[in-house]
Amino acid sequence: MTHLLRSLQIFVCVLGLISFVYFCRHTMKQKNFQFRIMFNAMDATSSRPGNQNITSELYNNTKPMNSYEVNPSYILRHGNGIIFLESGNRTQPPALVLCALESAARVYPERPIAFFINGLSDVNTKYDEENIRRKFPTLSLFPNVYIFPLKLEEVFKDTPLQSWFQKVNPKKERFWVHVSSDGCRLALIWKYGGIYMDSDFISIKPIPYINFLAAAAASHLSSNGIFGLFAHHNFAWDAMEDFVKNYKGAVWAHQGPKLFSRVLEKYCVIPKRKRTEDFMCGNISFLNPQRFYPIAFPQWKKYYQVWERLPTFNKSYGLHLWNTMNKGQMTMIVGTKTLVERLYQQHCPTTYEALRINQNVPL
């Protein structure tokens, strides 16, 4: 009898253990299934070309699909975003802009790429973002690219530019698209930090600086086409104050490169001689022209020519294609073997392939 009772106890224990294991496996399977749903909802595809190793940081910031926030404050909260702007009326960016965004997404896979477009509808949820993404198929493969509407009133709020914006009449401004863009980039970098790039820059390797400005062709003058600062950096605030105090919107570049150069001179003495090295100006690295402008603006057409020997651009982090100078609207043409075609093939192959197979990508 004792032996039978002991056998029965063993049987009950084994049965309980089997039930426990089954319960655990079933629970884990459900959790894994829920995780896969959330992962797919985040559009975190593992088939992204050129980058199979998406880091976990982008996904550690996620929320459940029904409450996931898609707005600049949330996406750019870490201060490491790359910011692009379209302040005109183009809601369908041309190939060069798509190439700029793609190249940045590839060079900075762990950082959010935020593209602000004037005239877009609101983007507040993941569903809104997915609807916007469908309009940009070459960018939809990159989970770190985010597209937002550019709302000037919100951008300028709580900055020195707010009072200026409330008084200015865009219809009477000669260069409104440009001066509004000049203001937006300062306000956005002030609020969120990170890097601002004009949409005609092709990124080729990571910029190893947090706070930096870039010398243009004249090595003692600063460009405002690309720069990086941490959030609430004094330079951005000082520049916005100067923007308003010395506003001359009818003078070309007065609110842009000339503004940056004026403010930078308050931080240090900038050598007038031609420089081939970077140097510190306060806590800002002032990078030499080779970093982003190895082909100066008088020679900008060289990007659209065939080179017998391709340049290496070993000293550059990115390349500015001088789209403002391109009045004839020269474009990358597949099969011409121009320098710009080589750059597309190497740094934005998804955009290049879409052009090659004649997908609907504006030139």
Q: pTM for the full model?
A: 0.80
Q: What is the pLDDT of residue 6?
A: 52
Which of 23-32, 41-50, 220-229 is predicted with the least confidence, judged by mean pLDDT?
Answer: 41-50
Choice among 5-14, 125-134, 238-247, 350-359 with the minimum mean pLDDT: 5-14
Long-range contacts formed by 137-142: CB under 8 A, 24+ apart: 137/354, 137/359, 138/98, 138/102, 138/350, 138/351, 138/354, 138/359, 138/361, 139/98, 139/101, 139/102, 139/105, 140/43, 141/45, 141/47, 141/48, 141/49, 141/350, 142/48, 142/102, 142/105, 142/106, 142/113
pLDDT digit string (tens) for 129-182? 788 888 899 999 999 999 999 999 999 999 999 999 999 999 999 999 999 999
Query: How does residue 194 score in pLDDT terms, banded at 50, 70 and 90?
Result: very high
Identify whether 87 is part of a domain. yes
Residue 7 lies in a domain: no
- The lowest-confidence range among 58-62, 128-132, 145-149, 243-247 is 58-62
Assess if residue 140 is contained within a domain. yes
Question: CA–CA separation, 147 vs 187, rounded Å?
Answer: 18
* pLDDT digit string, tens, across residues 298-315: 999 999 999 999 999 999
Question: What CATH number is associated with residue 129?
Answer: 3.90.550.20
Does the residue 29 lie in any domain? no
The predicted pLDDT at position 294 comes to 96
Residue 113, domain member (yes or no): yes
In a domain? residue 221: yes
Domain holding 236, by residue range, is 57-291
- Inform me whether the pLDDT recorded for 55 exceeds 50: no
Q: What is the pLDDT at residue 186?
A: 99
| Domain count of the fold of the chain | 1
| Confidence band, pLDDT 50/70/90 cuts, at residue 273 | confident
